[in-house]
Amino acid sequence: MINKNITFKIPANLLSDGLTNAKTKKNNVTSFILYLAPANESGIVNVCPFASDGCKSACLYKAGRGKFSNVQLSRINRTKFWAADRQLFYTKLGNELLMIAATYKKAAVRLNGTSDIDHLDLLKRYTGIDFLAKKYKNIKFYDYTKNINIIKKYAGSNYHLTFSKSETNDKQVLEALNFGANVAAVFSHTLPASYLGYPVVDGDLTDYRPEDGKGVIVGLVAKGPAKKDKSGFVIQN
Name the residue ranges covered by the structural domains of the chain: 15-228
| Cα end-to-end distance, the chain, whole Å | 48
Cα distance between residue 141 and residue 157, in whole Å: 9
Question: For position 120, what pLDDT does the model report?
Answer: 98
Q: What pLDDT score was predicted for residue 61?
A: 52
pTM above 0.85, yes or no: yes
Helix (H) or strand (E) holding 42: none
Instruction: Check residue 60 and give its pLDDT.
Output: 58
Angle at 37 between CA 36 and CA 38, to 5 degrees: 105
Q: Please name which of 49, 109, 43, 97 lies closest in space to residue 75, comparing C-alpha atoms.
A: 43
**Mean pLDDT, each 10-residue run in order, the chain (237 residues):** 85 94 89 94 93 81 56 92 97 98 98 97 98 98 98 97 97 97 95 97 96 96 86 90
**Rounded distance between C-alpha atoms, residue 88 and residue 74, angstroms:** 17
Q: Are 137 and 210 in contact (CB under 8 A)?
A: no
For position 230, what pLDDT does the model report? Answer: 86
Gap between the Cα atoms of 168 and 62, Å rounded = 23
pLDDT score recorded for residue 204:
94
Q: What is the pLDDT of residue 229?
A: 84
What pLDDT, on a 0 to 100 scale, did the predictor assign at position 1? 64
